[in-house]
Amino acid sequence: GAVVSQHPSRVICKSGTSVKIECRSLDFQATTMFWYRQFPKQSLMLMATSNEGSKATYEQGVEKDKFLINHASLTLSTLTVTSAHPEDSSFYICSAKRASGRVNEQFFGPGTRLTVL
Amino acid sequence: GDSVTQMEGPVTLSEEAFLTINCTYTATGYPSLFWYVQYPGEGLQLLLKATKADDKGSNKGFEATYRKETTSFHLEKGSVQVSDSAVYFCALGSTGTASKLTFGTGTRLQVTL
């Protein structure tokens, strides 16, 4: 149990276009989902926390208009990178916290590698 | 605020060698502690966890003990395999409602024959 999927796994897009990444909890309900960004050979940087039915909470320095997050249901959160630029190229990882689980236990998706040309 | 400090890598070991990856933390309250592993090109997988002082988390031959007195959660394995080559992240889970995880910078382990 506790499987989290992400789609797509890889995406290449042109500069100026928008890209949507989906994060789904497949076998559990997730009240909270988290979006991280990982640069090559570096740690994960938390971008935002999304709660079902409410606005996402963004970390300091993360542009909310650039990275749109929608947590439409207890099993789905989406991250849209708007007007993508080459500097947005990165590995984006989501995680989900069970609605009924212990505090702080997150389950991670496999990640989405975004390349902006 | 909360922070996690990991030993820098890369760590290169021969197969069957003993592994220790150091991790120390700074936090308020009583956080949970985790080790995650990331294999090349993949997302993070939970390796083990400990939720209170003196707890020992263990999985796949790896273990780590939550030491409150030294604020540490060092990862150990008695005999590493080539398949253990990956990046290992120590993480701290806050005790607040936000349930945020704070990650260390990661330690790359390379095991050779």
- Residue A110 to residue B42, Cβ atoms within 8 A: yes
Run of H or E residues at B93? strand B86-93
Confidence at residue A41, expressed as pLDDT on a 0 to 100 scale? 72
Q: Do B43 and A34 touch (CB under 8 A)?
A: no
Q: Which residue has the higher pLDDT, B76 or A55?
A: B76
* More confident position, A2 or B66: B66
Q: pLDDT tens for residues A10-25?
A: 999 999 999 999 999 9
Please report which confidence band the pLDDT of residue B97 belongs to, taking 50, 70 and 90 as the band edges.
low
The C-alpha angle with vertex A111 and arms to A117 and B79, in degrees rounded to 5, equals 125
> What mean pLDDT, rounded, does chain B reach?
91
| Mutation for testing the A interface, residue in B36, B90, B103, B108 having most A CBs under 10 Å | B103
Does any CB of chain A come closer than 8 Å to the CB of residue B94? yes
- Quickly count helices (H) and strands (E) in chain B: 0, 12
Q: What is the number of other CB atoms lying within 10 angstroms of the CB of residue B84? A: 20
Chain A interface mutation, best of B101, B107, B108, B109, highest count of A Cβ atoms under 10 Å: B101
Q: How confident is the model at residue A40 (pLDDT cuts 50, 70, 90)?
A: confident
> Closest to A93 (Cβ–Cβ): which among B43, B93, B108?
B43
Q: Which residue of A has its CA nearest to B45?
A: A108
Question: Measuring CA to CA, how many Å separate A71 from each of A32, B33, B98?
Answer: 9, 27, 16
